[in-house]
């Protein structure tokens, strides 16, 4: 199974990430979904804004995938998605 990484301004779909890694030989799928909290250090958080250089970010995410596969050779699939832009 090929690793999947995406860095995008578009909204992310956890269901899409799961579909990309589900496989009959995989016994589990683990996900992490970051969210925007309502406050930080007593101040209201209205939104977060992420910037990034997409080619470098994708290269680094693929390097993380390779590291995962070296450390845990039984991993069937890895999907990583990172959102850029304003996240409310």
Short-list 86, 87, 78, 85, CA closest to 23: 78
Mean pLDDT of 1-24: 95
pLDDT digits (tens, 9 = 90+) for 49-60: 999 999 999 999
Mean pLDDT of 20-31: 94
Query: What does the pLDDT read at residue 1?
Result: 80
Is residue 11 within 8 Å of residue 83, measured between CB atoms? yes
C-alpha torsion angle, residues 31, 47, 57, 60 (rounded to 10)? -40
pLDDT digits (tens, 9 = 90+) for 63-72: 999 999 999 9
Query: What does the pLDDT read at residue 2?
Result: 85
CATH architecture, range 4-87: Alpha-Beta Complex (3.90)
Short-list 28, 71, 60, 39, CA closest to 82: 60
Q: Is the pLDDT of residue 13 over 90?
A: yes
């Amino acid at each position: 199974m090929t690793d999947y990484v995406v860095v995008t301004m578009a909204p992310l779909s956890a269901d899409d990430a799961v579909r990309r890694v589900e496989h009959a030989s995989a016994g589990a799928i683990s996900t992490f979904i970051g969210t925007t909290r309502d406050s930080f250090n007593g101040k209201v958080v209205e939104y977060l804004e992420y910037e990034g250089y997409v080619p470098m970010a994708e290269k680094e995410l693929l390097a993380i995938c390779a590291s995962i596969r070296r450390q845990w050779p039984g991993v069937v699939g890895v999907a990583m998605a990172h959102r850029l832009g304003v996240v409310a």
